[in-house]
Amino acid sequence: MILGNYRGSGAITREQFLFYETRIVARLMSDESLSDEEITSRIIEENLFQFPTEKSLKRTVTGCLKRLRCLEDDELIKVIAHSPMEVGKQMCLYAMMKQYRLVWDFMIIVIGAKFREQDLSYGKMELNVFFMRLQEQDDEVASWSDSTINKIKQVLNRILIENEYIDSPRATKLNPIMICSEVDNAIRADGNEIALSAFNCFY
């Protein structure tokens, strides 16, 4: 079942996963209690992301702030800021799922279903079927160009690679990942148990 609404999800082609940038923003939020404006100014003044232009810095820090605010919990932001990389990346993925309905649906409808069925095969077909169904059911997605959809497919695969769900863009199977306790607790506290399947958790 496709859940929708996908308005704004096309922006994912610009923002992508951005773990290291999101971690920098999370540290400024949690360690120094800076406002969004102060964080943006600091990152631009010191070029903390090492980006070539101020425009790209502004756009990226705005995306990171939106993503972290989706967690709605300062303690979870601290997890991204200071936990071991595996834990931080999983929490960042959960934040991205909350930020973008498209990522939420992909991780549950495609990846979660694969884990539930213990079918670890994965490739272009799964992505193609997912987007074909979205185009049939959602006018926003139906309006996207083939180029935009291909870019989003690439972003989704990179998210999977970053979190070790797959080993490369050409992978043909999923790795049976294990959910980190911090992410498990966060999902349950939010009442979003449906999202546990995306992290191969069924208890």
In this prediction the pTM is: 0.94
Q: Where are the domains of the chain?
A: 13-199
- pLDDT for the residue numbered 7: 80
3-state secondary structure 95-144: HHHHHCHHHHHHHHHHHHHHHHCCCCECCHHHHHHHHHHHHHHCHHHHCC
- pLDDT for the residue numbered 8: 79
Domain 13-199 has CATH 3.40.50.11740: no
Average pLDDT of 185-193? Answer: 96
Q: Sorting pLDDT into bands at 50, 70 and 90, what band is 49?
A: very high
pLDDT 10s digits, 104-157:
999 999 999 999 999 999 999 999 999 999 999 999 999 999 999 999 999 999
Name the average pLDDT for the chain: 94
Contact in structure between 94 and 119 (CB atoms under 8 Å): no
